[in-house]
Structure 1
């Protein structure tokens, strides 16, 4: 039950900002003076408060009992999440999204850091994969419920954040209390020495989220512009993608053993193909096939990065590195519509399909660099042995 309690935290985190993605088009329509950018801001505003709170949580984790931090995070998560459904103005709506970000900024580094503090080696990699799967399971539940609730009212879609109540109960009964000790404080301070490595992993996470988040922020408008479906279809599409990530996350430990150092290169290739499909074949069947591929790649790349950053400093606090990477993760979410929109406009022109074409080319280049790096590293190892 300890595993279930810890993994339940992951269910609240990665897709938290995108949980109301199926309602974006309805939210924009409700505010007559709003532009399409409002919908994107509804999904990305939480990142503004997640980033500083994740860094603060990394410091607090060595001074405050982790259960107290978790309770605080869940409180802000539900307050800001469900509170968005009461909005009567754009400023109030965005302020509630910022409050949601405070909660997620506390919970996400803890959800991964606690895993690194308890497990190690292959078992830790396995749990990291399960954590990724759990976050996507939360996304599946959120997207399906949000799509159905949005068909009734865009306000109702915000009720999905009350799922935090169930997680609070699990944490209360099954997460063991752990107070910081002088040893932990000393170890967490060692994380400063690994800051450069943390930042490198963080940059990888930033670029991954810039690419991945282009789907949640655009999917409702993409379906609408190509006359494929409404908010319920958007919810189903996101659920299919997250279901793919969920299933892949369950097998992450086995995939890592089977593909060894080639897992990242294979994942990037699949990622690139998914964006090419979205850009070239704007119809229902290719859409769902592309989203399945996208979810598969995402389901391996996130745990790969999180496993890597926690392996950087095995003897330091697990939350220290993950708090830095979490900040980059949500910075990528926030910057995604700005970077992808501007870049595609310069290269291929405006439009959501061109955004996905740009990402297909960018991720494809990253795949090539990954393959070259893997080959040169293998040759270097052979020469030294």
Structure 2
């Protein structure tokens, strides 16, 4: 969740670097996301087989903390130098990203797995609240102070030292065909990629929208974005019950909520609509991601879970990176470059269509052998 730390400070960073084009400026957030992609894929392939989970987590958190706080000491440095250390942060982020869901799949089954998926969302969103809220408050004083908030990763680093290592998944028996990743993994990856393209404008443009429309400054943007994580926390508390009722249709519920959220932000003209939009978006988003991992846990061989998780999380990060360029291109060809809320009009329409479509089109999952 540390990737959202500096999103409330985007407008302040833009003021500090007035000669940097806004699309390039967004790299301070999106570059870390892009760089994390290969690290996520590699981490997913190595975890639990070549390298222990704990070893990877320790390496990832060291890079996360060091790369995260480094810009605080680089006030007089060039923007390119700041981007370089953000890349280091992104590598650490990418190493850690796929391992949480993979560990839950390794340790838990059935209803306990659903509950832990929900609780992991609660804990992650508590972290997100701290990162975003403190990032916004710090940015109100000085943009570089927002980067020091990444030091909260030290808490995670300490907790990792006490983390048990899951039992190694047994290799297939002699002569047994190595299981292939089912097509649903890549179907979900594409869907998550597109979902992040549609959601990311809310995360990176909110501070600009609030400033341009006269609704407030960095502290207000931090509070609005914090409601996204509050919504995610609420979703985590009720996820197991919701999933028990709707099963696979939980994805359609999440998509419908995201459509409502984008409509609230896109069509609303007061700060209250921003709060409602981000809260509902947090609930919807946090219904979708655990549902995807629950489906993956049932569809892939246990030895493939870390790899599948890595593919899903990598697709999220690529979608986040591509979002600004996608909407810049779309706004250009549609003559909407001056309409600051244009991405939200597109997103609310796409999510509404996707919610209805998913009720009729669901990816089929192949039965695969599970570890005893």
With the length of structure 1 as denominator, give the TM-score of the two structures.
Answer: 0.88
Partner of 2:198: 211
Count matched residues: 359
Deviations 1:170-197 (A, max 9, x none): 111x21145857x25889x988601533
2:152 to 163, 169, 172: 163
Aligned residue for 2:57? 70
Q: How does 1:302-317 map to 2 (within 5 A)?
A: 302-317=289-304
* SS of residue in 2 equivalent to 1:352: coil
- Taking a change above 3 Å as real, the CA distance of residues 142 and 197 of structure 1, as seen in their structure-2 partners, is same
Quote the residue 1:5 is aligned against. none
In structure 1, the partner of 2:44 is 58
Structure 2 residue aligned with 1:297, among 261, 270, 284?
Answer: 284
Query: Which is helix-richer, 1 or 2?
Result: 1
Give the CA deviation at 1:17: 2.1
Q: Determine which of 10, 17, 20 is the counterpart of 2:3.
A: 17
Quote the Cα distance in structure 2 between the aligned partners of 1:308 and 1:190: 23
Whole-Å Cα distance in 2 between the matches of residues 254 and 28 of structure 1? 43
Q: 1:101 to 1:192 in 2, by over 3 A?
A: farther
Specify the alignment match of 1:136 in structure 2: 125
Does the 8 Å contact 1:77/1:164 carry over to 2?
A: yes
1:9-56 C-alpha deviation (Å, 9 max, x unpaired): xxxxxx332211111111111113112223321110012221111111
Give runs of aligned pairs for residues 167-206 of structure 1, distance below 5 A: 167-172=156-161, 174-177=162-165, 180=168, 183-184=170-171, 193-194=180-181, 196-206=183-193
Please list every run of 5 or more consecutive structure 2 residues that lacks an aligned counterpart in the other structure: 365-372
Paired with 2:264 and 2:331, the residues of 1 have a C-alpha distance of 16
Deviation at 1:340, TM superposition (A): 2.6
Q: Which of 323, 341, 353 lines up with 1:353 in the alignment?
A: 341
Unaligned runs of 5+ in 1: 1-14, 378-385
1:213 is paired with a residue whose SS is: helix
Q: What is the deviation of 1:274? A: 1.2
RMSD of aligned residue pairs (Cα, Å): 2.3
CA contact (8 A) 2:118 2:240 kept: yes
Work out which of the residue numbers 285, 305, 330 in structure 2 matches 1:318: 305
CA distance in 2, matches of 1:334, 1:128: 26
TM-score, normalising length: structure 2: 0.90
